[in-house]
Structure 1
């Protein structure tokens, strides 16, 4: 059911790169032309839209909504702000957009995705791309200069109308040098909006695909950090009283760590470079957008967080190994004690039985073997060595315990001596 995005987006010469990347890039799930779509009340009125839904290799959904609105910077800025802040108000045929998508995906979810996947909902991360029409594009290109300053109209669009500035300041708006040719092309973008003027539709669609990769990577960073903190909270609140409980906790932490590492590799790091679409134009746009979103620093910090989870798991594994070793040592100690006790108990009677079974003049057949007065020397010879051996073992064990206690007591004495010397040094002014 999953197909390359090139079937829904006109990517021109970039289609070969998208198809060659295979499952590393988002893949198409749904592509429909929606005749009746309603945007939030403050947005411009549109006659229709194209809805494209794709999924990443880690089954993160990406939604593309392509709408056409009337020309004019005020309408564009208002629409950008409304669809950014109030996306849940978007309707298709009177139904919320997410519910409409869930109905369309009911059959897809059974065959293409996990059956227990939750209903779709809008996330926190969104990137909006503006491709002005011919008349508007000519006006913007006429105002475009080779300097760093941007016009007030560009500021209104890229900042979604939240700030109007007539001083010509950049206000953090990026203009990649490779993509800006005065009078021909212009690209101005912030973290959430890109204004792309003068490029052909395949290049525009490739820019949108690159922006979608950055959006997915940023969203995955937030999710990975949240799940990492949940794993640490699980480790902190877990009450482990048995070896089986420790093994279950280690298994659960291992699975979470594996998911975190896979997310970090295939949802973040795979979109942090430009090797998926190795073209100069796309690389320039991707690099600029990645810098403004601080994705490189986010990946580095998130990798450290995942390493901390790995360290916690390693500590738990050491604790489990120590507990297992202590259990094995205790079991072997009990077994050795039982064998030693059995040997001590069994050998003297065996010697006595051997003595009484000998056909010798020392054994009087008229007397009972329990006659201690007559056979006292034989009993003493049989039992005395084992009694002496037990006594020597107990004395040696006590001496070892006393020597260990003395060694442990030397440490606090040395610390007290060191603290008293430091106290004298401070009093002496040293």
Structure 2
């Protein structure tokens, strides 16, 4: 960063923290005479530079710096064109130029991907004397990018104390535009670095939220049948692994970037950096999304506990079946051993001259048959009970797998399938104005 920007006495701190701050990936000067916009009709800029910064998260942040000879109010149309990416160079949109410079190729028939919605504009102007400091009306017109009057006290503009401490310095921050006057060049460069850091963090935060919503929708649409227990565990483990990556990305790509004071010990830089993160909503949003990830992780852990319980029950049933099968085999072999052992006994009840199928041996055969029948009945009864248990657990119904199921189960809420709701054939007609009541009758307001 110090090779492209003059950072003064703070350069050493930026060099020490180069792996935690954005770095310049590419720099290109543009032809000022070829820059055109839809709303901006003033003189051409004195200098125009297209920057590509590499964010610590791996994202590429594009920035366009313009040196314009104009007062802040006259630059409002230019701010509008820049915010809505309505700037072109030699007829080529700025979005396409920025994409081509980083090697983003577009196939035939495909549209060039545009910039992400996260962006922030910085307006710097000189203030040699205290009278040159813009008044509050000018500040709000520039930050809101509109040349309209406003009501005092009805604004979200923040003016950090350290940026407004001297009579010839001023700093006003809004969610999308910031105006700084009378500050040194090195401080303006530090402010630019903070804006690049904040824009990259905001884009990463939005992506984390989108992925978290996708994980939540996948979790809510899960199946609760015991027959598909392996797929449920695989799905839950995949979501749990993804949540761990999201939490790490949230911590190091968004939350860590909000602290600049430990890297660059400068009051004005830290004051602007903290105020910018607060104005762009990154501090509150990262806390909210962190809670979302934490609660989804807790829900995944609870569901995994339920899956483990179902797997344990299935393992117990398999163990019971194994024990029953072994017991059955042992019973049969024991019974046959009893039979053949009886005929092998040297006793008066066993006559060598008689056949083993003689009617006199019917009692012993009846006893053996009764033992076998009891074993079969016991095994069949246990298997039938197990089958009923599996069917009851896998029976679909209004279970507590979603908030709608919980409401239906606990409070009797009626569930409506959105897919079966027929759309209205035609919009309802708008009623006309009411006729006034007859004279003498009271009129209801």
TM-score normalized by structure 1?
A: 0.76
Q: In the alignment, does 2:263 pair up with 1:272?
A: no
Does structure 2 retain, via aligned residues, the 8 Å contact 1:158–1:193? yes
Q: In the alignment, does 2:10 pair up with 1:14?
A: yes
Q: Which residue of 1 aligns with 2:216?
A: 232
Deviation at 1:266, TM superposition (A): 2.2
Listed as ranges, the matches of 1:195-344 within 5 Å are: 195-239=179-223, 242-274=228-260, 275-344=262-331
Instruction: Work out which of the residue numbers 134, 144, 161 in structure 1 matches 2:146.
Output: 161
Q: Which residue of 2 aligns with 1:405?
A: none
Q: Where do 5+ consecutive residues of structure 1 fail to align?
A: 110-117, 399-430
Instruction: Work out which of the residue numbers 167, 172, 177 in structure 1 matches 2:156.
Output: 172
Deviation at 1:390, TM superposition (A): 8.4
Give me the whole-angstrom Cα distance separating, in 1, the residues matched to 2:149 and 2:377: 95
SS in 2 for 1:350: helix
TM-score normalized by structure 2?
A: 0.74
Aligned pair count?
373
TM-superposition CA deviations, 1:209-247 (whole Å, max 9, x none): 112222333333333222222211122234465233213
Q: Which moved more, 1:269-278 or 1:65-74?
A: 269-278
TM-superposition CA deviations, 1:352-398 (whole Å, max 9, x none): 11222234443222222222x32345446656677778889999999
Deviation at 1:144, TM superposition (A): 4.4
Distance 1:254 1:72, change over 3 A: same
Q: Which residue of 1 aligns with 2:173?
A: 189
Q: In the alignment, does 2:337 pair up with 1:357?
A: no
Distance 1:386 1:127, change over 3 A: same
Deviation at 1:206, TM superposition (A): 0.6
Give me the whole-angstrom Cα distance separating, in 2, the residues matched to 1:157 and 1:192: 11
Q: Where do 5+ consecutive residues of structure 2 fail to align?
A: 106-110, 385-445
Q: Which residue of 2 aligns with 1:401?
A: none
Give me the whole-angstrom Cα distance separating, in 1, the residues matched to 2:175 and 2:53: 22
Distance 1:366 1:22, change over 3 A: farther
Distance 1:382 1:297, change over 3 A: same
Give me the whole-angstrom Cα distance separating, in 2, the residues matched to 1:392 and 1:250: 38
SS in 1 for 2:165: coil
Structure with more helix by fraction: 1
Q: Which residue of 1 aligns with 2:75?
A: 76
TM-superposition CA deviations, 1:14-70 (whole Å, max 9, x none): 333333224322233222222345242212432541111123233222122111112
Does structure 2 retain, via aligned residues, the 8 Å contact 1:78–1:160? yes
Does structure 1 retain, via aligned residues, the 8 Å contact 2:72–2:125? no
Instruction: Work out which of the residue numbers 131, 134, 140 in structure 2 matches 1:142.
Output: 131
Give me the whole-angstrom Cα distance separating, in 1, the residues matched to 2:232 and 2:274: 45
Does structure 2 retain, via aligned residues, the 8 Å contact 1:28–1:55? yes
Does structure 1 retain, via aligned residues, the 8 Å contact 2:222–2:232? no
Does structure 2 retain, via aligned residues, the 8 Å contact 1:155–1:163? no
